[in-house]
A and B are shown apart, each in its own frame.
Chain A
């Protein structure tokens, strides 16, 4: 597998799995406006998935399409971040997960707009406009709930504490990242950590939330070496129909 293919799967798998997670809220969110917002963010992410995984199959040689990648691979072939496969929990936990990822996603896409690969730059330029909008909403909601009632503050702090060990994986760099950085295609994830820290600390301060002390991080999602047990359940839900009825059309 080429490094570029691997990178594109990492991009597309994270947006796909997070999109699927958000879709689980459809019809269940605490207010109609939130329900619609979550579904709209999910839609953007799944649209971005079609572009990333579509380019992945093009790079691979068009032996399969984006739907094949999404629906016919198993846990060990997925390259999404561990953070995005974590269960929704309550609305606070979903919002916290979204914000931690959105803040990273914006910084990453802004860098990818200057990619040496025109196709990558074009997808990033399209996606970053949508993701800035996502960040505006998720950071605003983190502040509103963090600096809200005693109940909402407690839940947001608990969500932050629970999800923090999954944040560090976004900034891990391996041999694939080094190869792409060398070619000018994508930034080293580690380089995004400092600007992310600055932005995250500013929002946490406004939200009156306390950043966890330990930066211990779980790892294994984007390398595919060890996903959490949650991904298998998510895939079973997402993939059962195309697997039970291969090539079904409607």
Chain B
């Protein structure tokens, strides 16, 4: 921030962050993913608190970089990204908007039952797990028994 500038409102910062896509699933934002836990001004420094999804997720450092770039583009120069690991990230923090977008994109959203509720392609309820792991740490690999198409399932943790 330059001296004399007004500090952007925290609500505006949340809105800007909601436009930053997740690098691996670009249809949802980092806010939809539930990893932005707090936005606050510490004096004239903006502190964005981020919780990693999986411990070793390679997207974590990319996400921090993209948040930083997006906010600098909005003129915020004094910026700190803080990492918070407790309480641990849970898929309960996914936004409803994010869940809808995942399904529309072809990724079954997490379900406490331990598996997808329905095939994201045709809506059939009969689905089979192919593998507990998938294309990224947050997903597992399933197949629809009706349309026979494979699909990703967002693991529930």
A interface with B by C-beta (< 8 Å): 19, 33-34, 36-37, 40-48, 50-51, 118, 121-123, 125-127, 129-130, 133, 136-137
Contacts and interface: CB of A to CB of B under 8 A. Distances in A.
Chain B interface mostly helix, strand, loop or mixed? Answer: loop
Contacts of A37: 131-133
A127 B55 contact: yes
A133 B132 contact: yes
Contacts of A42: 56
A36 B86 CA distance: 28
A37 B157 CA distance: 17
Interface in B13-60: 52, 54-58
A152 B141 CA distance: 24
Contacts of B131: 33-34, 36-37
A40 B137 CA distance: 6
Given A121-B86, A122-B86, A133-B157, A33 B137 contact: no
B141 A33 contact: yes
B56 A122 contact: no
B55 A33 contact: no
Contacts of A45: 56
Contacts, number: 70
B55 A122 contact: no
A45 B131 CA distance: 19
Contact of B54 (A33, A47, A121): A47
A162 B134 CA distance: 31
20 contacts: A33-B130, A36-B134, A36-B141, A40-B133, A41-B133, A43-B54, A43-B56, A43-B57, A44-B55, A46-B56, A48-B55, A48-B56, A121-B86, A122-B85, A125-B85, A126-B85, A129-B90, A129-B157, A130-B55, A137-B132
Given A33-B141, A36-B134, A43-B137, A51 B85 contact: yes
Given A46-B56, A47-B54, A125 B133 contact: no
Given A122-B85, A122-B86, A33 B133 contact: yes
A118 B85 CA distance: 11
Nearest to B135: A36
B54 A136 contact: no
B88 A36 contact: no
B99 interface: no
A228 to B, nearest CB: 26
Interface in B113-134: 130-134
